[in-house]
Every structure is written in C-alpha cells, then in structure tokens.
C-alpha cells in the first residue's frame, strides 16, 4: 500500500513538473512573439508561467535552451516531411517543388502563433553553410530542401545567381505566409482556396527565371557579333567614302583635262 502511495506521489510530481515545463515554454513562446526574443528576460517568462524566477532554471538554463525546446521539434517534423517528398522518384522536379512549398505554407499557417519564433528568432542568413546552433542548422537545411528544385529547373551561371534565385523564391513563399498569417478563416478551407494560387505563383516564377536565363544567354551570344558587325560596318563605310573620293578626283581630273584640251584647240 505504501509503495502504491509512493508511486502515485512520484507520478503526480512528474506530471506537475511536465505541466510547469509546458507552461514555461508556452509563456516563452507568447512573450518572444509579442516582444521579441532579446527584450524578454527569464524572470518575466517565469512570472508569466506562474513559477518563481529560480524554478525556471531547474527546467531551462537560459533562453537559448528555451528557443531550442520551442523550435527544434516542429522543425524536425517539417524536415522529415520535406525529405519524404524528395523521395518520390516518380514525381517531376516541378511537382516536388510545388508540394514542398504547399507543405511549408501549411506548416506556417498551422503554427501561426509560433512561426516567428520557430523560423525567425536568432536566425542567420539562410545560405550560410555552417551556422552555429542546432536551430539554425535545421532552418538552413530546410531552406536547402525547399530551394534545390529551383537549382535543378533553372541552373544558375554562378553561385551568386543561385543564391539570388533561391531568395526570390523564398520571398514569394514568405509573402504568401505572412499575407494569410492573421486570417481568421479555418485552415483547411483557407488552404483549399490559396494552394492553387501558390502553384500558379511558382509556375510564373519559374517561367520568369527561365525567360531571364534564355534572354541573358541570347544577349551573351549576340553581343560580340553585334560589336563585330559595327566595326565591319564602319570599315565598309570608310572604304566606300575613300572609293567615292577617288572617283570624284578622277572625274575632276577628266573635266580639267577636257577643258585644257579645248583651250589648246582654240
């Protein structure tokens, strides 16, 4: 009997500890979103969670650990989903890009209150190769999964062009995310309405990138020939002028000779 009571007591303590930890995480998410990560202190998080400023350190040693607790689990789930899409070998690259984009949009709109924390707090450049911290490593891997389709469909001439193309795609995707971030429409009806728009946006984006690439290649191919044509045209014009001048001189000489002969005959 005493053992049963002891077991129940331990379970209750564990449940209370988990509840306290969950409350702290929720308060941190709320305050980070409302005021920004840097502006919030551990003491303020503890107060909002209803625990003492010393108790919070039993669960989280600092704000960075709290951020990891909030961001890593959902990011890992998103990464797993994107990898599963990439594994569909029967899908075209465009279809994979569209589905990854749809799932990213769904993810963000499913985590409205947290998406700024999950994706934005203490973030670094998304093209940074080896960022510090597990959260940023995850974020940048997800960015790479999302944009690798762009690289296959529209091969870039150099590294800077590759980065620029990826950013343009991401700006479009983020634009859709934050356009509907405050929508009160239920998730599924909202996605049913806007996912076709996302597909069309991707098609237009790719068409624009391909057109720009083809135009650039055409200009590169034509430009030397055009310059050569200009030089050739200039030479031909000078030669024509010189020829005309020679002919004019000959005509003048003939006229002078003819005039001189007439005078001699008189």
Reported confidence tier of residue 97, pLDDT bands at 50, 70, 90 = very high
Residue 259 has pLDDT above 70, yes or no: no
Reported confidence tier of residue 218, pLDDT bands at 50, 70, 90 = low
Burial group, residue 165, by CB count within 10 angstroms (0-12, 13-18, 19+)? buried
From residue 128, how far is each of 64, 140, 159, 228 by CA, in Å? 20, 7, 13, 43
Rounded to an integer, what distance in angstroms lies between the CA atom of residue 151 and that of residue 131? 21
255 located within any domain: no
Rounded to an integer, what distance in angstroms lies between the CA atom of residue 116 and that of residue 231? 58
153 located within any domain: no
Length of the chain (residues) = 266
Rounded to an integer, what distance in angstroms lies between the CA atom of residue 32 and that of residue 45? 9
222 located within any domain: no
Reported confidence tier of residue 4, pLDDT bands at 50, 70, 90 = low
Please give the tally of structural domains in the chain. Answer: 1
Model pLDDT, residue 175: 94
Domain with 36 in it: 1-61
From residue 110, how far is each of 61, 118, 180, 190 by CA, in Å? 29, 12, 11, 11
The CATH number covering residue 21 comes to: 1.10.10.60
For the chain, percent of residues with pLDDT exceeding 70: 85
Cβ–Cβ < 8 Å for 33, 113: yes
Rounded to an integer, what distance in angstroms lies between the CA atom of residue 108 and that of residue 38? 22
115 located within any domain: no
238 located within any domain: no
User: Both tokens of residue 115?
Assistant: 């998406």
For the chain, percent of residues with pLDDT exceeding 90: 58
Cβ–Cβ < 8 Å for 98, 202: yes
98 located within any domain: no
Mean pLDDT of 114-127: 87
246 located within any domain: no
Q: What is the pLDDT of residues 36-94, one digit of tens each?
A: 888 999 999 999 999 999 999 999 999 999 999 999 999 999 999 999 999 999 999 99
42 located within any domain: yes
User: Both tokens of residue 87?
Assistant: 């594994």
Q: pTM of the full predicted structure?
A: 0.74
In 87-186, where does DSSP find H-type helix? 93-110, 115-120, 134-153, 159-179
Q: CB neighbours of 149 closer than 8 A, spacing ≥ 6?
A: 93, 94, 96, 97, 100
């Amino acid at each position: 009997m005493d053992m049963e009571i002891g077991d129940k007591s331990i379970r209750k303590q564990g449940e209370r500890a988990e509840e306290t930890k969950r409350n702290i995480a929720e308060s941190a998410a709320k305050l980070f979103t409302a005021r920004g990560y840097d502006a919030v202190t551990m003491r303020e998080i503890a107060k909002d969670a209803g625990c003492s400023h010393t108790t919070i350190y039993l669960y989280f040693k600092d704000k960075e650990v709290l951020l990891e607790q909030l961001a890593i689990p959902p990011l890992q789930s998103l990464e797993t989903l994107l990898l599963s899409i990439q594994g569909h070998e029967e899908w075209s690259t465009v279809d994979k890009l569209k589905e990854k984009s749809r799932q990213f949009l769904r993810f963000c709109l499913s985590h409205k209150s947290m998406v700024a924390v999950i994706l934005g707090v203490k973030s670094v450049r998304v093209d940074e190769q080896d960022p510090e911290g597990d959260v940023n490593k995850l974020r940048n891997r997800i960015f790479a999964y999302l944009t690798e389709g762009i690289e296959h469909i529209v091969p870039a001439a150099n590294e800077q062009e590759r980065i620029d193309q990826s950013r343009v795609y991401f700006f479009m995707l983020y634009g859709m995310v934050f356009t509907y971030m405050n929508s009160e429409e239920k998730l599924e009806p909202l996605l049913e309405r806007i996912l076709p728009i996302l597909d069309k946006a991707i098609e237009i984006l790719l068409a624009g990138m391909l057109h720009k690439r083809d135009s650039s290649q055409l200009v590169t191919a034509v430009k030397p020939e055009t310059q050569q044509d200009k030089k050739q045209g200039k030479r031909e014009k000078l030669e024509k002028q010189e020829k005309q001048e020679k002919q004019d001189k000959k005509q003048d000489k003939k006229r002078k000779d003819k005039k001189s002969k007439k005078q001699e005959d008189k």
